[in-house]
């Protein structure tokens, strides 16, 4: 642009800056929204990547529906690293008063959790909360279930046909995000309790997940390939750390698209404002 044209443009802008306010605002908002879309999404992705191992519960996870892992499959996974098993089922919890509530029942092995920590109230450790005393197994339950059934810590409840004692309030599980939507309050107990309670019989809706902690420095990609080969024909869902929370990743992508669309819409509005101003001039 020549110096003369630039001076004319500055004079016109000074004389009618009020007419350019909407245009300038749309331009600034559009540029800021487009820049913020990418930076915000990347910040979320980095935060998710930093917590991926804890969210998944290990370096690798394999999930089966409607059946358990066989002895050969368990042996193959245990050769890869430390393994923690968890079974999940739905059951009806009943208080002595007769109040009932559908719950998400999980049974975990002694190695659980491999990554992160289970947050509890009323017990110093998960092992203490799940211990069996006088023949009654323990459980960590959500506060919502205690409120619904009118129970307090130390009270008995019936889950399916199994009596257990609520010994701790379950505040947070490190792998909660990786499991998706729950139909009811969570009840966490030992895997042996779920096995003996008849919740894993053929035809019932249950699943089992194995989480594997690889040796330090091991690459997850070849390990995942080895795991899929070991579980070939089992219809298992195998995930790596970067696949810990696919639902959250989709939400981040949708947020990025939405912010980008807002930015583009603002720029279009600014462009229309420029067109109108030039036409009027």
Delimit the domains of the chain by residue range: 17-51+247-280, 58-242
- Per-residue confidence (pLDDT) for residue 132, from 0 to 100: 92
Asked whether 186 and 170 are in contact (CB, 8 A), the reply is yes
Determine the Cα–Cα distance for residues 83 and 86; give it in Å rounded to an integer.
10
Q: Positive or negative, the Cα torsion across 44, 45, 46, 52?
A: positive
CB atoms within 10 A of CB 240: 17
Please state, as a whole number, how many other Cβ atoms lie within 10 Å of the Cβ of residue 215.
10
Which pLDDT score is estimated for 52? 72
Of 184, 188, 206, the residue nearest 68 (C-alpha)? 206
Give the angle subtended at the CA of 143 by the CAs of 138 and 149, to the nearest 5°.
80
Exposed/middle/buried for residue 21 (C-beta within 10 Å: 0-12, 13-18, 19+): exposed
Report the phi/psi class of residue 106: left, alpha or beta, with left for phi > 0 and alpha for psi in -120 to 50: beta
Torsional sign, CA 211, 216, 220, 224: negative
Q: Is residue 114 classed exposed, middle or buried when 0-12, 13-18 and 19+ CB atoms within 10 A define those classes?
A: buried
Cβ 164 vs Cβ 189: under 8 Å: yes
Q: Given the structure tokens 């096995």, which residue do they identify?
A: 195
Q: Are strands 162-172 and 138-141 parallel, antiparallel or unpaired?
A: parallel
Cβ distance 199 to 91 under 8 Å?
Answer: yes
CA distances from 105 to 128, 133, 141 (A): 18, 20, 9
Residue 1 neighbours by CB under 8 Å, 6+ apart = 9
- What pLDDT tens digit does each residue of the chain (281 aa) get? 567 767 766 666 665 555 566 666 766 776 777 777 677 777 776 766 666 777 788 889 899 998 999 999 999 999 999 999 999 999 999 999 999 999 999 999 999 998 888 999 999 999 999 999 999 999 999 999 999 999 999 999 999 999 999 999 999 888 877 666 677 899 999 999 999 998 988 888 899 999 999 988 888 888 889 998 888 876 888 888 777 666 666 776 777 777 777 777 766 766 676 666 556 65
pTM of the model: 0.71
């Amino acid at each position: 642009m020549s110096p003369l044209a630039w001076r004319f443009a500055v004079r016109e802008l000074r004389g009618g800056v009020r007419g350019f306010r909407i245009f300038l605002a749309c331009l600034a908002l559009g540029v800021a929204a487009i820049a913020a879309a990418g930076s915000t999404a990347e910040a979320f992705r980095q935060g998710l990547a930093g917590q991926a191992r804890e969210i998944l519960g290990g370096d690798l996870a394999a999930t089966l529906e409607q059946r358990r892992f066989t002895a050969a499959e368990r042996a193959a996974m245990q050769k890869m690293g430390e393994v923690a098993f968890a079974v999940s089922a739905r059951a009806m919890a009943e208080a002595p008063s007769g109040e009932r509530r559908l719950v998400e029942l999980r049974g975990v092995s002694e190695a659980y959790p491999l990554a992160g920590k289970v947050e509890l109230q009323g017990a110093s450790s998960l092992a203490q909360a799940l211990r069996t005393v006088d023949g009654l197994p323990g459980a960590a339950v959500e506060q919502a279930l205690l409120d619904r059934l009118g129970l307090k810590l130390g009270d008995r409840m019936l889950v399916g046909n199994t009596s257990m004692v609520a010994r701790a309030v379950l505040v947070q599980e490190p792998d909660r995000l990786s499991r998706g939507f729950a139909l009811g309050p969570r009840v966490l107990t030992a895997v042996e309790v779920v096995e003996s309670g008849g919740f894993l019989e053929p035809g019932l809706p249950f699943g089992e997940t194995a989480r594997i902690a690889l040796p330090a420095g091991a690459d997850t990609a070849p390990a995942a390939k080895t795991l899929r080969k070991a579980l070939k024909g089992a219809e298992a869902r195998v995930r790596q750390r970067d696949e810990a929370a696919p639902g959250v990743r989709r939400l981040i992508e949708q947020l990025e698209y939405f912010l980008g669309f807002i930015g583009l819409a603002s720029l279009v509005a600014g462009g229309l404002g420029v067109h109108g101003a030039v036409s009027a001039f």
